[in-house]
Structure 1
Amino acid sequence: MTDRQAPRGLARRVGGQVQHEIMQLILDRRLRSGDPLPTETELMEELGVSRNSIREALKGLQALDIVEVRHGYGTYVGQLSLTPLADGLTFRTLHELGSDVRALSEILQVREILEAGLIRRVATTIPEDDLAALDAVVRRMETRARAGETFAEEDRQFHELLYRSLGNALVPQFLEVFWKVFDRVSGIRGWNHDPSPIGTVRRHRAIVTALRRRDVEAAEQALSKHFRNIDTRVEKAARRDRPTDEPDHR
């Protein structure tokens, strides 16, 4: 039975199997990001499936950033990033916001839980070089705030620098996911305005001050205050935009 003749349910199952077999091939050959994969013809011969099955599987893996198809050049191992997670969370949050304004707050809550655990790990060991870098970022934030400018990029850099000393490659990727989701969603809904940028700068400085004292509890409390402020801003913006006849889901 050919791919075109196969029942739809079977075609999906086979397509998923082929994806897993290609992933296993990547693992077995210890291929790294940017390494070339076998050609379509070679994959057909090795896996014993049709060209259509290979192409369907590669499209699915490309959407997951597991492979990268460079037209005219071949197929390569992808960047293996968390971009698909960010895209999925963004869509889910926007979809849920249609009926429940808590959707964005849930993203913030998960990020806060992650960072609360991380800051406890670094509070007593963060290097002086990282503290100096955090101070420099806060100064740039303050300069922009006093000039009436936004400082989203500096804010993102601040949170990445906080945990740089852990040497965990997944941490900045997860932070980037949550940052992208919040930035996209709040931007689309018009909820990213900060009514008190100088206050936001002070809350970031309080985090650095607690870290300089190697005070774990104070650092965690300062971080929590920072997130409470963001959560409050989102909730106020959501209440402002909520139709008067729409129930409050809190």
Structure 2
Amino acid sequence: MAARIPAYRQAQTSIKQYIEDHQLQPGDPLPPEGQLAKDMGMSRLSLREGVKTLEAVGILEARQGEGIYVKAFTFDSIFENLPYSLASDGQSLRDLLQVRTALEEGLVGMVASQASPEQIAELDILAQQMVKKACDGQTFEDEDREFHLTLYRPLNNPFLNRLVELFWEVFRRLHGSEGVTHWNLEQTAQDHVAIVEALQAGKASQLTKAMHNHFRQIKQRLDPQTSADPQTPDQPVPQSTHP
């Protein structure tokens, strides 16, 4: 005999189906609780439980005194629900880096022909701020995050921007416990300077190579014994895992 599906799970499925059937968009309201429960053939209690779980994953938003609304998609719920075990799992960090490398290396060449002089100047300023802070022994997480988001802005792809932000933030959280005192700040800053210089040259191949070198350095720092790139000369391995 098949296990009985809990009422709140049925409510989740019914609510999501309702949103799809009625083509509701972010910000659109759902019917009042009583009407919605009647339309779906369930109790108000089951409906409320379903709404609570969909709120937790960022699909719905309950506004006090106003009702229930479809919520715009964000990665907030992913950040908040990252398993604690992930933070201490070195393999998870390597897996994430592999996906992030493929995403950024695969798309960065497209930026070469689409970035405006103003955007390149903005990236140059961020890279120089990183260099200055590195020389002063300061970290520069804010500038680093903004650099990667600004870099892909010319592609006008909001979903890509969200993915880049998600990967950057999760990567930072995963390796954050290692301590910023072990980062090779100057090498990381110079990686970003090289990316800007390639972008200024307007050569997609040079830009892709600069990004490849940046991620190769990160990979070496995570696993220096197995991550050497056989197609490039050996280089000193910095002690940073800064993204």
TM-score normalised by length of structure 2 = 0.82
Q: How far did 1:198 drift?
A: 1.6
% identical aligned pairs? 36
Q: Which amino acid aligns with 1:211?
A: L
Using a 3 Å threshold, how does the CA distance of structure 1 residues 180 and 210 change in structure 2: closer, same or farther? Answer: same
Deviation larger for 18-27 or 130-139: 18-27
Q: Which runs of 5+ in 1 are unaligned?
A: 1-6, 237-250
* Aligned positions of 1:36-51 closer than 5 A: 36-51=29-44
Name 1:10's counterpart in structure 2. 4
Work out whether 1:129 is the aligned partner of 2:118: yes
Q: Which runs of 5+ in 2 are unaligned?
A: 225-243
* Aligned positions of 1:107-186 closer than 5 A: 107-186=96-175
Work out whether 1:84 is the aligned partner of 2:73: no
DSSP-derived class of the 2:3 partner: helix
Work out whether 1:104 is the aligned partner of 2:97: no
Name 1:229's counterpart in structure 2. 217
DSSP-derived class of the 1:209 partner: helix
Name 2:236's counterpart in structure 1. none
RMSD: 2.4
Name 1:245's counterpart in structure 2. none
1:184 and 1:8 map into 2 onto residues whose CA distance is 41
* Aligned positions of 1:183-202 closer than 5 A: 183-187=172-176, 189-202=177-190
Using a 3 Å threshold, how does the CA distance of structure 1 residues 117 and 177 change in structure 2: closer, same or farther? Answer: same
Q: How far did 1:36 drift?
A: 2.8
Name 1:204's counterpart in structure 2. 192
DSSP-derived class of the 2:62 partner: strand
1:89 and 1:235 map into 2 onto residues whose CA distance is 23
TM-score normalised by length of structure 1 = 0.79
Q: What is the total number of aligned residue pairs between the two structures?
A: 224
1:89 and 1:224 map into 2 onto residues whose CA distance is 28
DSSP-derived class of the 1:37 partner: coil
DSSP-derived class of the 2:4 partner: helix
Deviations 1:134-191 (A, max 9, x none): 011112212222222110011001001111011111112111211221122212x325
Asked if the contact 1:123/1:219 (under 8 Å) is kept, the reply is yes
